[in-house]
Structures are given as structure tokens and as C-alpha cells.
Amino acid sequence: LGTYYQGDIMLVPPANGRVSIPDTLTSYIWPNGTVPFEIVGNFSNSELNTIYSAMNMFKRYTCVRFVQRTENDELFVSIVNNNTGCYSYIGRQSDNQYNLINLQTPECLMAEGTPVHEMMHALGFYHEFVRPDRDDYISINRSALRPDLQADNIYDNNFGKLRSEDGQTYNISYNYGSVMHYSRYAGAQSREYPVLINKVNLKVADFGNENGFAATDVMEINFRYKCSNSYRVPRPVSPWFG
């Protein structure tokens, strides 16, 4: 947290002053759910397998398809592994320098959850904990944050809530187990004091999902990308988690 918007999101330069939220803009959608990509980073075979496994989750549960780019694809996502963290731009951009997913190795490819998370950003999705209705489900213990995250501008950059006109929920329930949810301890000074506090009673060690999709993630993708109802949804662990 701290370097990028919401911890792992890169903003196109004109948006740095006032975040432009793709959720309300159809131009950020990849047409027909098809995302051409190229892998230009120096990944090991094991790391490539994790990337392809993450892509296959989209194929299994949604109508979104990550496909190898061809010379006819004007816009495409480049997947790289620069030593600058795990991050993505949001949605389909008109300039390919901003259609980028960075997966620093090995940290970002220890499991499928992180590449799935960054791919969802590339599809146009923000984090679960910044939804307009998040105050019904979590509170933020600002005093538990590291000192370097306490300044108002840095706090707002990482934990600011989306406006109702900017962030759509698609009438899909908030989910602590979403692959787009951060850990309880994101930016925490200590594991003794969590930053994100659930308002609904849960008996789980942490938030998020390092293994990939929760049911609500799939529902959101299929709703936004107008997928058919034939795609099955992963079974949730509980109404609030999984």
C-alpha cells in the first residue's frame, strides 16, 4: 500500500488529479469479453503455469477470454514482471502503454489469487472494500496503519470510498471473501491490530481469497460483461464469505 492508487492500481496520467472510474464507462469494457494479451516478462515455467491457470479460471466461470494477441489486435494487455510490485491499470485503455499488468516474481505468482485480482482490474473492476456501501460491512481502524500511511492524502488514496455514481454494485452482496478484497491487515503496523474490521460476525482468520474467485466475483463479471446464465458459479463458503 501507498505507492499506487488503492495499493495496486496504476492511473492513466490525466486521471491523477481526479480519478476517472471505469465502472460507469462502457468504453473501458473489452469488446465481447475478449482480452488479447502478450507475455513479455521473463517468467519461469512454473510462473507461466500460474498465469495461465488464472486465465483459465475466467474461461471456466465467465465468458471472458484471454487470448494470445495477433498482429490484427490494435489494443492488448502486456504482462510483465518488473521489480515494482503487483499492479494493473483499470479497464481497456486506448493507449497500449496503459494496458499493462505487472506481476513481480516470485511474490505476485505464489498462487492464482493475485493474477486473477490484477486481471479483474484490467477488466475494469476496483477493490471490494471501496464499494459505495462498504460502511455497512467494514470499518477502518486508521490508528492501526503504519505511520507512512497516516497522512490524509495517502489514506484517501488507499482507503477512499467510491462515490455511488462511480462504483456499481450490480445489486450483488458485499463479500469479505472476494478476490478483490484486501487483507484485514493491509498496511497494518502489527498483526495484533487489524486495519479492516468486519461489522458482520465472521469466524475467519482473514479477508480476501488467494486461490481465485469468490461466487460474487464471478457474478459481477458475468453481469457486467453480459455473459449467459450457463456459466456455473463457485459455491460460496457462506453468504458473506467465499
Per-residue pLDDT band at 242 (split at 50, 70, 90): low
Note if 74 is an active site residue: no
Nearest Cα to 128, choosing from 228, 211, 232, 7? 7
| pLDDT for 11 beyond 50 | no
Q: Supply the pLDDT for residue 143.
A: 95
Residue 5's pLDDT is 44
Tell which of 101, 123, 145 closes a domain: 123
Mark the binding-site residues for Zn(2+), compressed into ranges: 117, 121, 127
pLDDT for 96 beyond 90: yes
Does one domain contain both 42 and 107?
A: yes
pTM across the whole model: 0.88
Instruction: Tell me, yes or no, whether 96 lies in a domain.
Output: yes
**CA gap 209, 215 in Å, rounded:** 11
Q: Is residue 16 part of a domain?
A: no
Is 96 found in the same domain as 144? Answer: no
User: Which of 47, 112, 118, 220 is an active site residue?
Assistant: 118
Identify the pLDDT of residue 231: 73
Please indicate, yes or no, if residue 52 is contained in any of the structural domains.
yes
Q: Residue 16 pLDDT > 80, yes or no?
A: no
20: confidence class by pLDDT, cuts 50, 70, 90: very low
CATH of the domain at 94: 3.40.390.10
pLDDT value of position 149? 86
Q: How far apart are CA 215 and CA 166, in angstroms?
A: 23
Is 20 contained in some domain? no
Same structural domain, 46 and 113? yes
List, for residues 51-78, the tens digit of each pLDDT value: 999 999 999 999 999 999 999 999 999 9
Q: Is residue 7 part of a domain?
A: no
Query: In this structure, are 176 and 132 located in the same domain?
Result: yes
| 13: in domain | no
Same domain, residue pair 84 and 142: no
Does 56 reside within a domain? yes
Same domain, 149 and 89: no
84 and 139 in a single domain? The answer is: no
Let me know whether 134 and 118 are in one domain.
Answer: no
Q: Is the pLDDT of residue 37 over 90?
A: yes
- Domain identity same for 132 and 117: no
pLDDT computed for residue 233 by the predictor: 74
> Which of residues 210 and 43 earns the better pLDDT score?
43
pLDDT over 80 (residue 12): no
Among candidates 96, 41, 31, which has minimal Cα distance to 67? Answer: 31
Identify whether residues 145 and 159 lie together within a single domain: yes
CA atoms within 13 A on the CB side of 222: 23
Higher pLDDT, 24 or 193: 193
Residue 19 reports pLDDT greater than 50: no
Q: Cis peptide before 234, with omega less than 30 degrees from 0? A: no
Looking at the structure, tell me whether residues 50 and 105 fall in a common domain. Answer: yes
Mean model confidence pLDDT for the chain:
86
Number of domains in the chain: 2
For range 140-156, the mean pLDDT: 90
Q: Which of 36-50, 146-160, 180-194 has the highest mean pLDDT?
A: 36-50
| Judgement on whether residues 149 and 75 belong to the same structural domain of the protein | no
Q: Which domain holds residue 207?
A: 128-225
- In this prediction, residue 165 carries a pLDDT of 66
Given this model, what pLDDT does residue 228 score?
A: 86
Domain boundary among 123, 142, 167: 123
Residue 6 placed within a domain: no
29, pLDDT greater than 90: yes
pLDDT confidence band for 80 (50 / 70 / 90): very high
- Last residue of one domain, picked from the residues 123, 148, 169: 123
**Which pLDDT value is given to residue 28?**
85
pLDDT of residue 204: 81
What pLDDT score was predicted for residue 203? Answer: 79
